[in-house]
Amino acid sequence: MIMWEISSGYPPFYNCKHNYNMAMKIVNGSRPTILEGTPSEYKELMIQCWNEKSSERPKINTLLDKIEKMWKNCYNNIELNTLKVNLELNYYSPQNSRLYYSNSNSTSKIYYSNDLPCKDIMDEQEANHSKPYDFKIESLSQNSGCL
């Protein structure tokens, strides 16, 4: 049940009334539904731990070994994924941009400001900034009906 709580974030049967009837259901084999997304190895181990015959449940050392193995696999996968991402980031870094931008069309060119339409753009922006606007902001109590 601890494994289920760890994987779900909730105590087992959190949404049920804890009474005699629930206890009898558990004794008769009722178990919480394993949530979607629970890793299959973890799920299988959890089901083994729920076996009604204690002799068929994994021993604590076996349980610890399997959980440690799952943790290491998960950690190694995270580490491997991080390595892949870092390699991809390095591959696409500016130092490697020549791989994609090596043709002659992407070379730098010198432009003189007289040739660029900067003054027209600046004049247009200034005209927009200096236009007077008349906004009416009504009181919230009149407008919203919430207060």
Tens of pLDDT along 81-115? 666 666 666 555 455 444 444 444 545 556 555 55
Residues 63 and 51 in one domain: no
- On whether residue 66 sits in a domain, the answer given is yes
**Contact 147/140 with Cβ under 8 angstroms?**
yes
Cα gap 10→13, rounded to integer Å: 8
- On whether residue 83 sits in a domain, the answer given is yes
In the chain, % of residues over pLDDT 70: 53
Residues 45 and 77 in one domain: no
Quote the domain boundaries for residue 77: 59-92
Residues 2 and 52 in one domain: yes
- On whether residue 20 sits in a domain, the answer given is yes
Residues 4 and 37 in one domain: yes
For the segment 56-74, the average pLDDT, to the nearest whole number, is 90
For the segment 58-73, the average pLDDT, to the nearest whole number, is 91
Number of domains the chain is built from? 2
In this model, does residue 38 exceed pLDDT 70?
A: yes
Kindly tell me the burial class for residue 34, based on how many C-beta atoms sit within 10 Å of its own C-beta (0-12, 13-18, 19 or more): middle
More confident residue, 63 or 113: 63
Residues 40 and 72 in one domain: no
- On whether residue 129 sits in a domain, the answer given is no
Cα gap 44→33, rounded to integer Å: 13
Residues 51 and 80 in one domain: no
- What the block records as the tokens of 96 is 């490697």
| Per-chain mean pLDDT for the chain | 73
- On whether residue 127 sits in a domain, the answer given is no
Residues 17 and 52 in one domain: yes
Cα gap 122→19, rounded to integer Å: 76
Place of tokens 């089901």: 47
pTM: 0.51
- On whether residue 67 sits in a domain, the answer given is yes
